[in-house]
Amino acid sequence: MKKLVASLFSVALVLSFVGVAFADTTYQAENANLIGAAKAEAVDTASGGEYVLGFDDPASDAIEFTVNVSEAGTYEVEFGYATAMDNASMSVNGTVVTTPSTGGWAENGFGVITASLDLEEGDNTVTIKQSTDYVQIDYIKVLGDGTGAENPDTGDAGTMLYVALAAMTLAGGAFLVVSRKRRIN
């Protein structure tokens, strides 16, 4: 009976820890809805092998990503981008995001910027348009848990499982110590 109780307690600990981990989700620009003159091109430096360019006219061109989150909140969203322009910016859901020069275009590699976006539970549309000068987009990545904070270093599932297993071991040992103490009395 004592082993059964210890086992059930251990399973409960694992389940409680596993729910704490949050996954970042990456959306490749070449897989988004490309509107107007926006087009995907292959380049070795892009994370998915392609990037999007040509969405130069904000009146008719855009990149629309459909992102899904499990709960409503303010999410940090990372943008992989390239621009050789000093004053470039893009509009993300109507908010202007400054994109500092990466020193070149996609062939030279991509930079990363992060912006906060309010997202609703379920599917959301994230629309990117040019604001000033030109930007090329590799991907967007929704970070964290919707609290506006990125994942902590200990937030990955592997680490959390390790912590849960360590807690199970300690809990099992504590249970056995308590059991032995009761037997002595």
**pLDDT tens per residue, range 150-174:** 444 434 444 333 333 344 444 454 3
**Residue range 132-139: mean pLDDT, rounded:** 96
Separation of alpha carbons 43 and 40, rounded Å: 10
Predicted local distance difference test score (pLDDT) of residue 145? 77
Average per-residue pLDDT in the chain? 78
Which of 3-12, 84-93, 149-158, 167-176 tops mean pLDDT?
Answer: 84-93
pLDDT band for position 1 (cuts 50, 70, 90): low
Torsion of CA 112, 115, 116, 121, to 10 degrees: -60
- pLDDT tens digits, one per residue of 12-36: 443 333 333 368 999 999 999 999 9
Question: Which tops the pLDDT comparison, 94 or 1?
Answer: 94
Strands, E, within 7-98: which ranges?
25-28, 33-35, 39-42, 50-53, 62-69, 73-82, 89-92, 95-98
Quick one: tokens of 103?
């020193």
Global confidence as pTM: 0.70
Q: Give the pLDDT confidence score for residue 23 in this predicted structure.
A: 85
Residue 143 has pLDDT above 80, yes or no: yes
pLDDT recorded at residue 168: 43
pLDDT recorded at residue 146: 77
Average pLDDT of span 87-114 = 96
Dihedral sign for Cα 110, 116, 119, 122, please. Answer: positive
Q: For residue 119, which of 140, 98, 90 has the smallest C-alpha distance?
A: 140
Of 130 and 184, the structure prediction assigns the larger pLDDT to 130
Q: 50: helix, coil or strand?
A: strand
Q: What was the pLDDT predicted at 2? A: 54
Nearest to 55 by CA among 76, 70, 41: 41
Domains of the chain, CATH where assigned: 2-18+156-184 (no CATH), 25-150 (2.60.120.260)
112-131 tens-digit pLDDT:
999 999 999 999 999 999 99
Phi-psi region of 100 (alpha: psi -120 to 50; beta: other; left: phi over 0): beta
